[in-house]
Amino acid sequence: ADIEAFGEKLKEAHKAMNVMRETGVIKGHLSKDGEPEKVLFSQCPYIQEGPLNSPESMKRLQDLRESVRNRVDAVVSLGIGGSYLGNKVLFDIQCGEFWNSKSTEERNGYPKFYFSGNNIDPRRTKDLIDNLEDCAEITKTHYKRNYKVMLIVISKSGGTLDTMSNFMVVYDALKKNPQIEVEVVAVTDPNLEKPTLLKQMAIDHNWPQFSVPDGVGGRFTVFTDVGLTTAACIGFDIDEFLRGARDMDEACKSDNVWENPAMLNAALKYIASEKYGRHIEVMMPYGDYLESLSMWYIQLLAESLGKQFDKEGNEVCYGRTPVVALGTRDMHSQTQQHQEGMLDKVVQFIRVEKWENDLVIPNVFPEVKKLADISGVTMGDALEVARQSNADALASNKRFNALFSLPEMNAYHLGELLYMLAMSVAYEGEFANVDAFDQPGVEAYKRIMGPKLQELKAKQ
């Protein structure tokens, strides 16, 4: 009934999405100089057809894949925010936790893969360097050759402090090690008129370059070279990923809210917030390798919809606070709050319907009744029973919850889900009349931090 009463808003938002798809224009989204700025994320899955990309960009990704496979020993992807979070999702789904402990054969010739630059943490960065140096030592001793490391530096703006400070530290240390050969790949804004710092460095040093297309904000870039360079280096199925996103895009073209997953999700979440005061969204996938998806979504929701002013400049302070959770882990920590705490949350579940290599819990201690009782059940089924029980318990106490169900955890369904979520925040931006494509609040601390760093340098 709430959705039916919402009729006009749905139509208007859908019209705005059609205009965005066709022209890249979304009302009220302006550049810093007050000019309309394009929003082109919905074109990214059509990488082969352009106009944003082209068959050549796909070919370049294939070339990258071939050039790292059976040649590069380790890749370090350096980036933060939108230049990291989506990449981590692709990595986790494809590689899992133990990728770097596997042999090259088990990795199908693909290199070890590390992330850096998503913090300015000296301990972690030192550990990474030490680890790479240890690997280089072993390679030299056993195979009498140097260790090849590729640093993929990803920054749309081209000068983000977190990314660049890590890059300089890691680059410097590895370059000084005679057992390591370092190569650099840059992923940045391709604009040649006003090149980013990273672009200029890539030109000066002759580093291979990939592009973050204009009109695609950081948190929407997983379908561009930002995410796809990672995909290429780990053997992730790029074609299937983009096909999933395109199929979801088709589904989201329907003007019937009951058939358009992004519009329906956005409408339900908006109503939950505005009518029922559910101002927190807990993103709770069931499956360890989906936790990073929850973290990716946190950025998408927080930066897109957490806005003080609407498009006319009225103060609205809109946006649910996103929370990362993981089932079943956080049923043992957060669920008490979800079940009985303030009535201010929507718990959003994600489940995987069919697990590859599901495991049956064996009857190893038949004499222990409690353990014998759970034997014979697969872990995947037990996980789903836990999730359903959580959902039923929440629903029985007026606690809002919802479910996204992935038939399988693979590139195609991941493409569908990530694209649907991106489209959903675009719809919700229209419902709430806020610009879902800027992030003015992120600038506030940056204005303070720049001079503070200069002060610090002057003192040293």
Note the residues at the interface with ligand PA5 (CB under 6 A): 80-83, 155-157, 160, 163, 217-219, 299, 303, 439
Q: In DSSP terms, which residues pair with 408 in a beta bridge?
A: 354
| Closest listed residue to residue 301, CA positions, set 278, 318, 315 | 318
d(CA 112, CA 107): 8
Query: Which CB sits closer to ligand PA5, 112 or 156?
Result: 156
Residue 281 annotated among the catalytic residues of the structure: no
Query: Which CB sits closer to ligand PA5, 165 or 375?
Result: 165
Q: Report residue 394 as tokens.
A: 């929440």
| Closest listed residue to residue 350, CA positions, set 283, 296, 420, 302 | 283
**Smallest distance from ligand PA5 to CB 300, Å:** 8
Maximum CA extent, the chain: 75
**Smallest distance from ligand PA5 to CB 184, Å:** 16
Q: Report residue 105 as tokens.
A: 């054969």
Q: What is the 3-state secondary structure (H, E, C) of 359-410?
A: CECCCCCCCCHHHHHHCCCEHHHHHHHHHHHHHHHHHCCCCEEEEEEEEECC
Q: What is the 3-state secondary structure (H, E, C) of 134-193?
A: HHHHHHHHHHCCCEEEEEEEECCCCCCHHHHHHHHHHHHHHHHCCCEEEEEEEEECCCCC
d(CA 361, CA 373): 10
- The residue annotated as part of the active site, out of 176, 205, 332, 457, is 332
Q: Judge contact between 263 and 428, C-beta under 8 A.
A: no
d(CA 425, CA 302): 10
d(CA 428, CA 425): 5
| DSSP letter assigned to residue 220 | G
Q: What are phi and psi of 282, to 5 degrees?
A: -95, 120
d(CA 65, CA 152): 13
Residue 303 annotated among the catalytic residues of the structure: yes
d(CA 107, CA 110): 5
| Closest listed residue to residue 416, CA positions, set 289, 241, 281 | 241
- The residue annotated as part of the active site, out of 11, 275, 446, 452, is 446
**The tokens 């630059």 sit on which residue?**
117
Query: Which CB sits closer to ligand PA5, 60 or 156?
Result: 156
Q: Judge contact between 233 and 65, C-beta under 8 A.
A: yes
- The residue annotated as part of the active site, out of 303, 384, 416, 430, is 303
Query: Which CB sits closer to ligand PA5, 294 or 410?
Result: 294
Query: Which CB sits closer to ligand PA5, 125 or 160?
Result: 160
Query: Which CB sits closer to ligand PA5, 156 or 311?
Result: 156
Residue 332 annotated among the catalytic residues of the structure: yes
Catalytic site positions: 303, 332, 446
